[in-house]
Amino acid sequence: MRAFGFKAGIGTSSRVLAAADGGYAVGVLVQANMHGGPEGARLLRIAGVPVGQELAREAKSDRRPDGSILVLIATDAPLLPHQLKRLARRATLGLARTGSAGHGDSGDIFIAFSTANPGADQETGTVPLTMLPNERIDPLFDAVIGATEEAIINSLVAAREMRGSGGRVKPGLPLDKVREILRRYNRLQEPGR
């Protein structure tokens, strides 16, 4: 697994909505495998900063420039299937915040589910359901966008250099250099500073 020319893989992130918005939780898990090589590395953005432009020379070239991403979204908000479909579509905006636009060869998959309405799958009788009105879903959209972006970055930050067969090397994201770049853009929050 690689993203933006660096070693990647599984990343996670979550958000909890304010009590006024229902206090619902949103969790995102990604399997990131996208944008290989220096060309893809140039696209990487972290906290809105174009860090990839400075890191592109460190990324190793891949045979395929595109890959795929799986985004799994879980929430305890009472959403019906059509609302979950809308929620899943918002993951693409989180993907875009990292610099990715998706490409023709991408095999992107976005899935959302809710843990609300237990027993909704019973086979007999009627089932009472609760749902969040459409007018109250925007905070969940915002949560999914932010958590997807963060989960992708998490997949890069958590990964380490990997050496494979034939002497192939997939470098990890150079975290010290990323910190330095973010510091220059005044985007790094450091404890005690």
The residues annotated as belonging to the active site are 68, 106, 108
The answer to whether the CB of 40 falls within 8 A of the CB of 67 is no
Q: Is 121 helix (H, G, I), strand (E, B) or coil?
A: coil
DSSP H helical ranges for 56-172: 81-89, 91-97, 138-158
Q: Which residue has the tokens 């696209």?
A: 43
Which tokens belong to 1? 């697994």
DSSP secondary structure of 67-95? -EEEEEEEE-S---HHHHHHHHHTHHHHH
Q: Which among 134, 152, 138, 173 is positioned nearest to 95, based on CA atoms?
A: 152
Which tokens belong to 6? 């660096």
Q: Which among 105, 67, 114 is positioned nearest to 86, based on CA atoms?
A: 114
